[in-house]
Amino acid sequence: MEMISGLFLVLSFLVVLSVAVLLVCPESKFKKREEEAAAGLPNGSMGWPFIGETFSFLKPHKSNSIGTFLQQHCSRYGNVFKSNLFGVPTVVSGDFELNNFVLQNEDKLFQSYYPKSVKDILGKYCMMLVPGDLHKKLRTVALTFINSSKTSPHFLHYLHNLTISFMDSWNKSQHISFAKQAKKFTMHIMLKNMLNIEPGDPRATQMLEDHIAYMKGLVSIPINLPGSPYNKALKARARIQSTIKGIMLERREKNEHVLVDDDGDFLDQMLSNEECLLDNEEKVSLVMDLLLAGYETTAGLLALLVYYLFQSPEVLEQLREEHLAIRRKKKDGESLTWNDIQQMEFNTNVIYEALRCGNLVKFVHRKALMDVKYKGYYIPAGWQVLPVFTAVHMDPAIHQNPSKFDPLRWNDRSMRKIVNPFGGGMRLCPGTDLAKLEATIFLHHLVLNYRWKMVEEDYPVSYPYLGFKNGLKLELEPLENNFLDE
Ligand code: HEM
C-alpha cells in the first residue's frame, strides 16, 4: 500500500511537471518572441537545432536569381529576416541601406566573422578574418603592391603576352572548357606576379590543383576524415604554405631578395622592404590570401563576361568599337595602360554589369559587436549578420528588369552608390583595380580578334561560389579582320 501511494506521488509529480513545462515553456517562448519583436528583431524562422536553415540557404541556384530560400523568406518576412545559419543565430539582410551600414561600421559595431571550419582552412592570419591593426598592416602591404602592379610596364607587357598565348592555344583546340581555362589563366598571372613562377613550371600545375581542392573544402561539411573535401583542403593548404616558405627560404639563402625593379614580384617587395612590418608567418599568409582571392574571383569574372557578351551581340559590338578606338592609338604589340583602361567607360560598365547580374560574391559574413538598432531593425550583440549582395543586385524595386544584362543602366551614376560587387568600408576589395585590369586586357584581345559560341546550354550557378553548370564549353574562331597585335 505504501509502495502504491509512493508510486502515485511520483506519477502525480511527473504529470504536474509535464503540464507545467507544457504551460510555462510556450508562454516563456511566446513572451521572448514578443519581447524580441517589440525590440525590432526581424521575423523569421530558426529551423533545426544547430544546423538551422544552413542547407536550404546554401542550396545551389542560378546566380542571376536570389534562389528559392531567399525568395520564400523575403516574401514571408521581408528582405531582412532572422534565421539560424552556420550554427549561429543570424540576421540576413537584403536591404542595401542596412548592408551599407554594416560594411561602413566594421570594427565599430560589426566585425568580420567566419565559421570555425573556414578559419581553420584559411589560417589565423588571413586578411579576411583578422581585425584591427594586423588587418590594417596586411591591407597596406597588399594595396601598395597592387597599385604598383597596375602601372608597371613590365607587368602589363607580361599580361598582354600571356593573354595572346592563352588565346592562341584555345584557338587550336576545338572546344574549350572555359571556366577551367580561366582559372588556369588567372592562376598563372597571380603566380608570376606574386612568386615569379612561370606557367611551364611544375609548381604552377600543383598550385592550381591545390587551390581547387582548397576552394572545394571551403564549402564542404567540415569533417576531418581521410579523403573528405575538408581534409583534402587542409592538406592542400599545408602544401601551398610549404611551397611559399621554401621559395622564401631559397631567396634568403641566395640573397636574391633585392630585386625591387621591374622584375620584382610581391615576395621580393615584402622581403626587401624594411618598412614591411609583417613577420614571416604573416608574409606567407598574405601571399596565400592574394593568390586565392585573386585567381578564383577574376576567373569567375572572365567567365561571366564571355557568357553575357555571347548572349548580347549589340553590347559586344559597342564594346568592340571602344576597344578598337583605343587600339588605333597604339603601336603594334603595345599593351593597354592603366590610364587607357580608366578612360574606357563602356568597358567598365560591362564589367560591373556582369558582376551585378552574375553575382560573383553572393554575401559576406559579419558579427554584431554590441546590440545594434538601425532603421527599426534590432540586431542583438553576438549575432551573425549576412549582408546579401545578390538580393540588392536582383531587387526589382531598385533595378528595372534586374535579370537583364544591360550595361547602359550604369550610365545612371546613382548605380555606383547602390551596387558595389567589390564590397565596401574597411574591407572593400583591395584587388578591385587588378581584377579590372586583367579583365580589360583579356577582353581587348578577345573582342578584337575572336568570335566565340557556346557549344552547350549553360548558365552561372551560385553554390554559393560561382560556377558554370557545364563548365562553359566554347568554340573560339579568329575574326577575318582581326587586329592581333603580336
Ligand atoms: C572580380 C573580382 C573580384 C571581386 C568581385 C571581389 C570581391 C570582393 C569582396 C566583395 C570583398 C569583401 C569581403 C568582405 O567584406 O568580407 C573582397 C575582399 C578581398 N578581396 Fe576581392 N574581389 C575580386 C578580386 C580580387 C583580387 C584580384 C584580389 C587580389 C589580388 C582580391 C583580394 C581580396 C582580399 C585580400 C580581400 C579581403 C579584404 C579585407 O578583408 O580587407 N580580390 N573581394
C-alpha of residue 215 to centroid of ligand 1, in Å: 15
From 133, 297, 360, 428, mutation site for ligand 1 pocket: most ligand atoms within 8 A of C-beta: 297
Q: Does the annotation place 429 within a ligand binding site?
A: yes
Bridge pairing between strands 450-454 and 460-462: unpaired
d(CA 105, CA 431): 21
Residue 81 three-state SS: strand
Which atom of ligand 1 has the smallest separation from the CA of 426?
Answer: 41
Residue 477, number of CB atoms within 10 A of its CB = 11
pLDDT of residue 31: 57
Which atom of ligand 1 has the smallest separation from the CA of 103?
Answer: 15
Q: Where are the alpha helices (DSSP H) in 196-228?
A: 202-218
**What b-and-e string marks burial along 152-172, b requiring 16 or more CB atoms within 10 Å of the CB?**
beebbebbbebbbebbeebee
Helix then strand then coil, in percent of the chain rounded to 5, is 55, 10, 30
Residue 240 three-state SS: helix
Pair 103, 247: CB distance under 8 Å = no
Query: How many helices and strands (H and E) does the chain possess?
Result: 18, 13
In degrees rounded to 5, what are phi and psi of residue 379?
-120, 110
C-alpha of residue 131 to centroid of ligand 1, in Å: 16
Q: Which residues line ligand 1 (CB under 6 A)?
A: 112, 127-128, 139, 142, 146, 289-290, 293-294, 297-298, 301, 355, 360-361, 364, 421-423, 427, 429-431, 434-435
Burial class (CB in 10 A: 0-12, 13-18, 19+), 417: exposed
C-alpha of residue 293 to centroid of ligand 1, in Å: 6
> Chain centroid to CA 161: how far?
27
C-alpha of residue 56 to centroid of ligand 1, in Å: 26
pLDDT of residue 9: 37
Q: What single-letter DSSP state applies at residue 410? A: G
Residue 34, number of CB atoms within 10 A of its CB = 10
Q: What is the pTM of this model?
A: 0.91
Q: What single-letter DSSP state applies at residue 91? A: E
pLDDT of residue 269: 83
pLDDT tens for the chain, 486 residues long, are 333 333 333 334 333 333 344 444 444 555 566 667 667 899 999 999 889 999 999 999 999 999 999 999 999 999 999 999 999 999 999 999 999 999 999 999 999 999 888 888 999 999 999 999 999 999 999 999 999 999 999 999 999 999 999 999 998 888 999 999 999 999 999 999 999 999 999 999 999 999 999 888 988 888 899 999 999 999 999 999 999 999 999 888 876 554 444 557 888 888 887 667 889 999 999 999 999 999 999 999 999 999 999 999 999 999 999 999 999 999 988 999 999 999 999 999 999 999 999 999 999 999 999 999 999 999 999 999 999 999 999 999 999 999 999 999 999 989 999 999 999 999 999 999 999 999 999 999 999 999 999 999 999 999 989 999 999 999 999 998 665 544
Name beta bridge partners: 378.
373
Q: What single-letter DSSP state applies at residue 408? A: G
In degrees rounded to 5, what are phi and psi of residue 377?
-90, 140
Residue 485, number of CB atoms within 10 A of its CB = 17
pLDDT of residue 337: 96
Bridge pairing between strands 450-454 and 372-374: unpaired
C-alpha of residue 421 to centroid of ligand 1, in Å: 9
- CA-nearest residue for atom 20, ligand 1, is 429
d(CA 37, CA 41): 5
pLDDT of residue 261: 47
pLDDT of residue 273: 73
- CA-nearest residue for atom 6, ligand 1, is 422
Pair 357, 383: CB distance under 8 Å = no
C-alpha of residue 301 to centroid of ligand 1, in Å: 12
Cα-atom radius of gyration of the chain, to the nearest Å? 26
- CA-nearest residue for atom 17, ligand 1, is 429
Q: Where are the alpha helices (DSSP H) in 113-152?
A: 116-122, 132-150
Residue 276, number of CB atoms within 10 A of its CB = 18
The residue type of 474 is: L
pLDDT of residue 141: 92
From 183, 429, 440, 443, mutation site for ligand 1 pocket: most ligand atoms within 8 A of C-beta: 429
d(CA 134, CA 426): 13
Residue 460: partners with Cβ closer than 8 Å, 6 or more residues away: 62, 63, 64, 303, 304, 307, 358, 359, 466, 467, 468, 469
Pair 244, 287: CB distance under 8 Å = yes
